Amino acid sequence: MVPSVGARPSRILQKIGRPTVEVVIVADAKAGGELIAGAMAELLRRKPDALLGVATGSTPLPVYQALASMVDSGAADTSRARIAQLDEYVGLPTDHPESYRSVVRREVLEPLGIGMDAFMGPDGTAEDVQAACEAYDRRLAEAGGVDLQLLGIGTDGHIGFNEPCSSLASRTRIKTLTEQTRVDNARFFGGDIGQVPHHVITQGIGTILEARHLVLLATGEGKADAVAATVEGPVAAVCPASALQLHPHATVVVDEAAAAELKLAGYFRHTYAGKPDWQGI
């Protein structure tokens, strides 16, 4: 018997829990950004010094913009928030405008009024890259772990820089970028692929899965096949994001275009519409 929505939240969650992967279909990227920013703001109300894991790229920008607007209006308080980086280029100076540390500073920290003292990321300039990877894993654990990790997804289902056939138990490590990824990223380097590093440090899938809440945002028809494989396909290394099915609290937020290939779209709409407001995502 399903408890009534008037029952205590903790009691309901003990009895019926959460779906392994909750899929929320929104109208567009702006709506997705506002929904996720609202979840971050609520997390910070409960835990002001929460550690937020952030991703780079164009997809998560609506999240950061919506959260910054909430901070400006007084609806969210990020004064004690901490930020953790998902990945970083190897060999790129930290002050290079396209190092992910610089991107996070520009797109996340400064708009949210968060200082570099509350930031942590892997050292892509280290002489011993493997040691730097292991050190970052330890630092995340010593910080108490990531409370909410925001993720994007590639058209091939990759998360972070965990390309297809990455180990689902992988830890933070060095990865070699595929030629296509370097071609795709050349637009950030003036169109010159020669300026794009060949290697990155990325949190591994096993590391990512240790965050308390995983939130993946996908927008656009180009992500539709990857989204369907992530939530409706088998858990398989060929689609790294399918590992979210193994997590006890994973949320996939998609716009209409990215939801186009979901066979269970009607079910996802129905279950989300029936959730009590207090439960959030």
How many whole angstroms from its chain centre is CA 67? 15
Helix, strand, or coil (residue 218): strand
- Identify whether the C-beta of residue 121 lies closer than 8 Å to the C-beta of residue 100: yes
Q: Is the pLDDT of residue 231 over 80?
A: yes
Over residues 231-259, mean pLDDT: 97
pTM to 2 decimal places: 0.91
Mean pLDDT of the chain: 92
Nearest to 124 by CA among 170, 177, 168, 166: 177
Q: Which pLDDT does position 3 carry in this prediction?
A: 36
The Cα–Cα gap between 78 and 112 comes to 7
Show the beta-strand stretches assigned E in the chain.
21-26, 51-54, 82-85, 87-89, 119-120, 148-151, 173-176, 199-202, 213-218, 250-255
How many whole angstroms from its chain centre is CA 127? 28
271 vs 4, higher pLDDT: 271
Per residue in 28-68, pLDDT (tens digit) is: 999 999 999 999 999 999 999 999 999 999 999 999 999 99
- Identify whether the C-beta of residue 210 lies closer than 8 Å to the C-beta of residue 196: no
Token pair 């716009």 is found at: 255
Which phi and psi angles does 28 have, rounded to 5°? -160, 180
Q: Is the pLDDT of residue 13 over 70?
A: no
Task: State the amino acid at position 11 in one-letter form.
Answer: R
The Cα–Cα gap between 108 and 120 comes to 13
Give the catalytic positions in this structure. Answer: 87, 156, 158, 163
The Cα–Cα gap between 239 and 99 comes to 26
The Cα–Cα gap between 86 and 56 comes to 8
Token pair 């990223």 is found at: 185
